[in-house]
Amino acid sequence: MKVLITGGAGFLGSHLSEAFLARGDEVIALDRDAQAKVRHLLGHRRFRLVVDSVMNPEILDALAAEADLIYHLAGVVGVEHYVADPYDVLSVNVNGTQNLLRAAYKHGRRVVFSSTSEVYGRNPAVPWSEDADRVLGPTTIDRWCYATSKAAAEHFCLAYRRLGLPITVLRFFNVYGPRLDRLDVGRVIAILLGQLLRGEPLTVIGDGSQTRCFTWIDDAIRATVAAGIVSAAEGQVINVGTDQETSIRALAELMIRIGGGPSTIRFVPHASVYGDSYEDVPRRVPDVRRMKRILAVEATTALADGLARTIAWFRGANADAARPAVA
């Protein structure tokens, strides 16, 4: 089977590429940049990286024509982008998804779309089943543009489902592991890791009581592969994650305990990091029954185990980056 993965050079895409290569499939990764995360795959005879954009309908048409199955993972992700360049977030996540769906529909290809736990916003009634309400803040707060863009993209997916396109929407919950992001940028674990590896205080935003459910990459990838293969997944929206809830303060403490070193915790106000364009989500917990029932996958890896492996990987791979910058 030939699998097209848009955003295939990203964190999830690189691990998903490995999973399909291990099954003996062919993988075409389409990504506009960030080749670093698939550098190790570039010589593989069943792996091809196409450096282009999902904003280019012609390339999508050509690649959809030759693929048997399509994963649409390309997206602009990361709080720093939501507050710095909302236009890019909205444009790629909405218009890029439309482009992809048009090409998949034309060629009759099955699609798995990567949505996010962010679509539930700050709905206080956790855990969230897939049919739970979305509770978002105002459009004047840039932070909500990502949730809005992914929800709009989901609507397009479900509209194409009505036209007969076989499609599955996955909502990922804080997946982490090797190659997550560069140290110090992107998602919370990568930011805390940079500080941990340099022995600096770990900056926890707010009072650290906000919770997330951190999902080990291999667990998420097993679910993601199944979503493209299991026929019962067609037409479904499925949460992908663990329901083990962890506060950011507990995450930081655990990272210090596992990683060792002199780091402590420093609490900083939201506004000092993201300005006024940010609102936090107090609790984020999935209902994972549909994932277990349809995909037959459970995210069982304990956070301590996954963090130990992640810290070890970043220590090895980023030995240089982890050194303090020389003024």
- Name which of residues 281 to 310 contact ligand NAD (CB under 6 A): none
E strand or H helix at 30: strand 26-31
Query: Is 278 among the residues known to form the active site?
Result: no
If binding is defined by CB under 6 A, does position 9 make contact with ligand NAD? Answer: yes
Q: Which is nearer to ligand NAD, 122 or 201 (CB)?
A: 122
Q: Which is nearer to ligand NAD, 5 or 263 (CB)?
A: 5
Q: How far out from the chain centre does Cα 306 lie?
A: 16
Site string for ligand NAD, 30-59 (x = CB under 6 A): xxxxx------------------xxx----
Residue of 3, 28, 77, 202 that binds ligand NAD (CB under 6 A): 77
CA atoms lying within 13 Å on the CB side of residue 127: 17
Q: Which is nearer to ligand NAD, 120 or 278 (CB)?
A: 120
Say how many residues touch ligand NAD, by CB under 6 A: 27
Residue of 3, 5, 10, 183 that binds ligand NAD (CB under 6 A): 10
If binding is defined by CB under 6 A, does position 223 make contact with ligand NAD? Answer: no
Instruction: State the catalytic residue, choosing from 82, 120, 146, 176.
Output: 146
If binding is defined by CB under 6 A, does position 151 make contact with ligand NAD? Answer: no
**Closest chain position to ligand NAD (CB):** 10
Q: How far is the CB of 7 from ligand NAD (least distance, A)?
A: 3
If binding is defined by CB under 6 A, does position 13 make contact with ligand NAD? Answer: yes
Torsion, Cα 43 172 130 76, to 10 degrees, reads -90
Query: Facing residues of 268 across strands?
Result: 205
- Name which of residues 95 to 124 contact ligand NAD (CB under 6 A): 96, 114, 116
Q: Which residues contact 192 (CB under 8 A, 6 or more apart)?
A: 202, 203, 251, 252, 255
Q: Which is nearer to ligand NAD, 94 or 263 (CB)?
A: 94
3-state secondary structure of 264: coil
Q: Are 283 and 206 a contacting pair, CB within 8 Å?
A: no
3-state secondary structure of 262: coil
Q: How far is the CB of 224 from ligand NAD (least distance, A)?
A: 9
Buried-exposed string 267-297: b where 16+ CB fall within 10 A, e elsewhere:
eeeeeeebeebbbebebbbbbbebbeebbeb
Q: Which is nearer to ligand NAD, 3 or 92 (CB)?
A: 92
Phi and psi at 29, nearest 5°, equal -100, 125
Q: How far is the CB of 326 from ligand NAD (least distance, A)?
A: 28
Residue type for position 191: I
The strands making up 2-6's β-sheet, listed across from edge to edge, are 47-51, 26-31, 2-6, 69-72, 110-116, 167-172, 237-240
Q: Which is nearer to ligand NAD, 9 or 192 (CB)?
A: 9
Stretch of residues binding ligand NAD (CB under 6 A), selected from 170-178, 254-262, 264-272, 302-310: 170-178
**Is the preceding omega at residue 127 within 30 degrees of 0, hence cis?**
yes
What is the contact surface with ligand NAD in residues (CB under 6 A)? Answer: 6-7, 9-13, 30-34, 53-55, 73-77, 92, 96, 114, 116, 172, 174-175
The residues annotated with a catalytic role in the active site are 146
